[in-house]
Amino acid sequence: MQPATASRRRCDRRSARALPWPALVAVVVATATASRPAAGAEAGPAPPDSVLAAERGRVAVMARASAAAVAIFAGEAGGGSGVLVSPDGYALTNFHVVQPAGVAMKCGLSDGRLYDAVLVGLDPTGDLALVKLVGRDDFPWAELADSDTVAVGDPCFAAGNPFLLATDFQPSVSAGIVSGVHRYQGPAGTILEYADCIQVDAAINPGNSGGALFDARGAVIGINGRASFEKRGRVNVGVGYAISSNQARHFLGALKGGRIVDHATLGATVATASDGRVVVSDILESSDAYRRGLRYDDEVVALAGRPVRTVNAFKNVLGTLPSGWRVPLVYRRGGQRHEILVRLAAVHAPAELEAIVSGEGGPRQRRRAPGSRRPPAPGDEPPPGEAPAAPAAREPPPLPDALRGLHEARPGFANFHFNLVERDRVAAAIAARHPVERPAGTWRVVGRLADKEAFRIELAPARASIDLPTGTSTIDAASELDANPSPPGSGGLLAALVLWRRLILDGPRSLGRTTYLGTVPAATPAAAEPAGTAIPVYDDVLDAAVAGVEARFIVAADGAVTGIDLWTAPDAEPCEVRFAYAADGGVGDAVGLPRSFTVRHADTAFGTFTIDEVVVEPATENADSTGPAATAGDGAGAER
């Protein structure tokens, strides 16, 4: 690309110093026309300084973005592209790029160096994968932009390894504009689904897969992966598709946890009614949406905070969400609007997902719920084919010395080693947030309910109890917790609090089989950029199967446990506990405990608990003995 003839740049939203690319093109054309000398005449005036400055800015942006571009080489298995998204070496790419490569691969950067990289996590349905480059802790990287702000006509560029040409590790750059947003590309003879993706006219060729699509300021708005080609000779026809950066952000936590992640299904299908409404055409009675009240022929108005006006819009929203998330669903019945929270189920069974990853699952059939999917459109093809089909299963080669100790095989995981890394990171944050003397004895929590009635909770190593106006409930904290979902109507509040105390005191390892699940949108308000664009905030989730129950702990970045969901049986409604912390410290601040918490079970609010006093006793030979050691009350802090 010659700088003077292909300059197209959109003005950085945060700066007015550079001209937009279309305006720059007009200026360049006008300047070139005005300054073109006539035959025998001297050369005209130089381009305006504003044009030259904008051109230098565009070149600098592309150079900076290209430093984060990764050329992936997998030997005989082929290769593709990727992009570094953190300074410690994590890089996003496509599932179909890394699947044939296996656990280890080589990655080249524009600094001319070849790095070893190890597989971290896989998203086979959404065609995403995460790898980690090793050898340094200051890799150049690119931030993920908010892809919901991308509009048709925005300038963009791709940096990658088309046709594996980057043998010198210098990425190829192709520029263009965004030519479509919210495109749905259903499975076309593959297991891959591109939902809510970005369509571009920048050249996307075989080998570009997995590389970044950048905006005008060099932030990642998508991961390139699929293109439409002229059938004869696979000639690029100017229609490429990128997985949105927001979809990648939704799954990034689970990918960093070494998981084989799955996408979500509502357990229901939708269709267009004769009057244009989007209505439920079929629904599984076992789905959470059905339990929350959704029925056949209800009009779907919004899902996960986005309006649903077409079937395509519904598929686009659902296809970008991980399984297990709880999202708001708005529907209308008989002219009356209803809003519910639904927990999204997984598209695949775990064994089915593993078979797909290993190449034994065959083409995926979409959605477990009844219904049809969009047939492939003319010209659509699977992702560009830079990597051949996975070879027959054989003993994997030994890892390079640089990757030793960075991979652990375990069913259900792409790389269990990184799950332990993330679990221990969260454990360290929890321990730092709660400066409680360990070992600890009984915790006594005293406060008021919403109606001002008093409550009292005692959590000891061997037992737990709660005094409510309706009566007293006690459970054996050392036995199977599923046998006693007390207090009645809560779904297991005492069991949840027992595990909460154990997690804070002794970490996730004390709970038994505990893994890092990924991230969920945080309940806390998001910060805002100067331009007003919300910065997504995510909380970590730990999943524990212990003492006959399953519990999921939601943990904020500062180590505060913000929520617990506990199931006493796989088909039971969970007990949902949500904690709130005082902004100014308040009750329990000295030991990191919350100011209040709410409890829900099924569709019923069990209670809101405001804490007035927390007493943490030291451990004694008699675990249930008294003798306060730490007290916090009425915002006065606590002593230890």
Least confident range from 8-17, 52-61, 319-328: namely 8-17
- Name the token pair of 55: 């051109």
Q: Is the pLDDT of residue 366 over 50?
A: no
CATH number (2.50.20, 2.60.120, 3.30.450, 2.40.160) of 423-639 reads 2.50.20
Alpha helical stretches, state H, 484-601:
493-506
CA atoms of 52 and 18, how far apart (whole Å): 10
Question: Which pLDDT band holds residue 241 (cuts at 50, 70, 90)?
Answer: very high
| Residue 605 near residue 598, CB atoms below 8 Å | yes
| Mean pLDDT, rounded, for 412-441 | 91
Phi, psi of 371 (to 5 degrees): 140, 170
- Name the token pair of 221: 């708005």
CATH topology of 264-346 equal to that of 423-639? no
Residue that has been written with the tokens 């480059």 in this structure: 133
Question: To the nearest whole percent, how much of the chain has pLDDT over 90?
Answer: 60
pLDDT tens-digit series, residues 190-238: 678 899 999 999 988 888 899 999 999 999 999 998 877 666 555 566 7
Residue 625's pLDDT is what?
A: 41
- What pairs with residue 91 in β-bridges? 84, 131
Least confident range from 143-152, 318-327, 588-597: namely 588-597
User: DSSP class of residue 534?
Assistant: B
| Residue 635 near residue 586, CB atoms below 8 Å | yes
CA atoms of 522 and 556, how far apart (whole Å): 8
CA atoms of 394 and 306, how far apart (whole Å): 45
List the end-to-end C-alpha distance of the chain, in Å, as a whole number: 67
Residue 631's pLDDT is what?
A: 41
Residue 370's pLDDT is what?
A: 31
pLDDT tens-digit series, residues 505-533: 999 988 989 999 999 999 764 444 444 45
| Mean pLDDT, rounded, for 448-458 | 95
Compute the chain's Rg from CA coordinates. 28
| Mean pLDDT, rounded, for 613-635 | 57
| Mean pLDDT, rounded, for 98-106 | 90
Mean residue pLDDT across the chain: 83
Q: Is the pLDDT of residue 548 over 60?
A: yes
- Name the token pair of 519: 């991230």
Q: Give the DSSP H/E element, type plus range, for residue 356.
A: helix 350-357
CATH number (1.10.1040.10, 2.30.42.10, 3.90.950.10, 3.40.50.2300) of 264-346 reads 2.30.42.10
Positions marked catalytic:
96, 127, 209
Which amino acid type is present at position 583? A
Residue 527's pLDDT is what?
A: 44
Question: Which pLDDT band holds residue 485 (cuts at 50, 70, 90)?
Answer: very high
pLDDT tens-digit series, residues 245-280: 999 999 999 999 999 999 999 999 999 999 999 999
| Residue 93 near residue 81, CB atoms below 8 Å | yes
**98: Cβ–Cβ under 8 A, 6 or more apart, which residues?**
72, 74, 105, 119, 122, 129, 131, 210
Indicate the fold that domain 68-136+143-261+383-398 takes in CATH: Thrombin, subunit H (2.40.10)
* DSSP letters for 231-259: TTTTEEEEEEEEEEHHHHHHHHHHHHTTB
Q: Is the model more confident about 379 or about 469? A: 469
Phi, psi of 429 (to 5 degrees): -65, -40
pLDDT tens-digit series, residues 529-546: 444 456 689 999 999 999
CA atoms of 312 and 299, how far apart (whole Å): 15
Q: Enumerate the domain spans of the chain.
A: 1-66, 68-136+143-261+383-398, 264-346, 423-639
